[in-house]
Every structure is written in C-alpha cells, then in structure tokens.
Structure 1
C-alpha cells in the first residue's frame, strides 16, 4: 500500500467521511489522483462511497470495517516497533523522550490545525 493510501485511510479514521476533493487537499495530491486512489481502495474493500445525507449532490468517502481494521493493525504494528526500539535505549535516553513528549504532542496539534486549515 502506498504512503498516500495509508495516510488517506488514517485521515478517514481520524476525521470521518470526507469528500474526494477534501481528501486531495489534505493529502496534497490532485483531485484526479485521489479519485483513482479511492477507486483502488474501494475495489480492495477498504473504503466505500456514500451519499451525504445533508446534501444529496455530494458523495462522501467512508472507511469500511476492513479499512478501520487495517488502520488499527498498522498503528498497533507501529507502537510495537517503537516499544521494541525504546527498550534498547538507556534510562537517560528514555527520560529525554519523556521530557520531549509535551513538545511532540504540541507538534501533532499544530499539524492537525494545518490540515484543518488546508481543507477550508
């Protein structure tokens, strides 16, 4: 799976159903490229298209159960990989990571704000 596909699935998991145009902006690709990507993920059973109940002219891309399972499995694998690596650090290095957590969380918040600004 491509990085953009995985990122798109993670975005849908985090934010809920989105328009293809919104996904394209968030992931930094063209609308035609996102349309192709969504079609491939739809054929794989990871996403589906649904009508927007608030605007019948709009189609939303939604994560399927299989897509949500895939995102959870990737996250779990990432956590396990980091845990194994952290186990190899010295106590001082672990303490340095702990001290950096507030700044890292702030960076994640800033990234979310940037993504939200990009979709508007």
Structure 2
C-alpha cells in the first residue's frame, strides 16, 4: 500500500467521512489522483462512497470495517515496534523521551490540525 493510501485511511479514521476534494487537499495530491486512489481502495474493500444526508449532491468517502481494521493493525504494529526499540534505550534516554512527551504531543496535534485543513 502506498504512503498516500495509508495516510488517507488514517485521515478517514481520525476525521470521519470526507469529500474527495477535502481528502486531496489534506493529503497534498490533485483531485484526479485522489479519485483514482479512492477507486483503488474502494475496489480493495477499504473504503466506500456514500451520499451525504445533509446534501444529496455530495458524495463522501467512508472507511469500511476492513479499512478501519487495516488502520488499527498498522497502528498496533507501530506501537509494538516502538515498544521493542524503547526497551533497548538506557534509563537516561527513556527519561529524556518522557520529558519530551508534552512537546511531541503538541507537535502531533499541530500536524493533525494541518492535515485536516479548515472545518466546514
């Protein structure tokens, strides 16, 4: 799976259903490229398109259960990798990581806000 595909699935997991135009902007690709990507992920059973109940002209891209499962599995694999690597650090290095957690959390929040773009 491409990084853009994985990032798009993670965005949908984090923010819920989105328009293709929104996903293209968040992921930094063109709308035609996102349309193609969504079609491939739809064929793979990871996403589906649904009408927007509040605006019948709009189609939203939604995660399927398989897509949500993929995101959870990928996140858990990352957690396990970091657990193993952190286990190899010295006590001082672990303390430095713990001290840096507030700043790292803030960075993640800023990145998330950046990726989500303006709210509608």
Same fold (TM over 0.5): yes
TM range (shorter): over 0.9
Pair 1:78 & 2:86 matched: no
Describe the SS at the equivalent of 1:25: helix
Q: 2:48 maps to which residue?
A: 48
Q: 2:27 maps to which residue?
A: 27
Aligned pairs, how many? 120
Please list the CA deviations of residues 13-71 of structure 1 after superposition, one character each: whole Å capped at 9, or x if unmatched.
Answer: 00000000000000000000000000000000000000000000000000000000000
How far apart, in 1, do the equivalents of 2:39 and 2:55 lie? 22
User: What TM-score, normalized by structure 2, do the two folds share?
Assistant: 0.96
RMSD: 1.1
Q: How does 1:38-117 map to 2 (within 5 A)?
A: 38-117=38-117
Pair 1:12 & 2:12 matched: yes
Please list the CA deviations of residues 73-98 of structure 1 after superposition, one character each: whole Å capped at 9, or x if unmatched.
Answer: 00000000000000000000000000
How far apart, in 1, do the equivalents of 2:116 and 2:45 lie? 27
Cα drift, residue 112 of structure 1 = 1.9
Describe the SS at the equivalent of 1:99: helix
How far apart, in 2, do the equivalents of 1:112 and 1:74 lie? 18
